[in-house]
Amino acid sequence: MGRNTLARASRRRLLQLGQPGVERVLGLLRGERRAAVMQVGAPSLKDLAPGMVRRA
């Protein structure tokens, strides 16, 4: 399954979920981002510095 296929499936599912579902997914993504930023030692996204991140 290619990236475009997955993206289409995700968009289709979000359309099925409607606004409440999209808001829930966005909330989950915000939580994941916040957790990742805090795990590298930054209190917020704006405090994230290049030295805190390394390339995979």
pLDDT of residue 54: 81
The pLDDT tens digits of the residues spanning 2-28 come to 566 657 778 888 888 899 988 888 898
d(CA 50, CA 4): 30
The C-alpha atoms of residue 44 and residue 52 are separated, in whole angstroms, by 12
Total-model pTM: 0.66
Alpha helices (runs of H) in 1-56, residue ranges in sequence order: 3-39
pLDDT reported for residue 1? 52
Residue whose token pair is 């995979």: 56
pLDDT of residue 47: 92
